Amino acid sequence: MTDIHAMELVTRKRLLLYSGTAHPDLTNAVAAELGVPVGEPNIRRFSDGELHCRYGESIRGADVFIVQSHAGPAVSDSIMEQLIMIDAAKRASAKRITAVCPYYGYARQDRKAEGREPITAKLVADMLSAAGVDRVVSVDLHTGQIQGFFDVPVDHLTALPILVGHLRASCTIEDLVIVSPDAGGVKAAKRIANHLGADLAFVNKERPKGQPDRALASNVIGVVDGKRCVLVDDIIGTAGTIVAAADLLLDSGATEVWAMATHGVLADPAIDRLKNSAISRVVLTDTLPLPPEKAIDKIEVLSIAPLIANAIRAVFEDESVSEIFGGENQK
Q: Where is 157: in which H helix or E strand? A: strand 154-157
Do 202 and 231 contact (CB within 8 A), yes or no? no
Residue 159 CB partners (closer than 8 Å, separation 6+):
139, 140, 262, 285, 287, 302, 304, 307
Cβ within 8 Å of residue 301, ≥6 positions away = 264, 283, 284, 285, 286, 290
Please provide the DSSP assignment of 20-52 as one string: -SS-HHHHHHHHHHHT-PBP----EE-TTS-EE
Cα–Cα distances (Å) from 228 to 172, 192, 222, 241, in that order, read 9, 15, 13, 18
How many whole angstroms separate alpha carbon 201 and alpha carbon 220? 7
Cis peptide bond prior to 269, omega within 30° of 0: yes
Q: What is the CB neighbour count within 10 angstroms for residue 313?
A: 17
Catalytic option among 13, 112, 190, 205: 205
- Identify the CA nearest to 234 among candidates 127, 156, 325: 156
Residue 95 annotated among the catalytic residues of the structure = no
Residues in contact with 251: Cβ distance below 8 Å, sequence separation at least 6, in sequence order: none
Give the pairing type, strands 199-206 and 216-221: antiparallel
Active site residues: 205
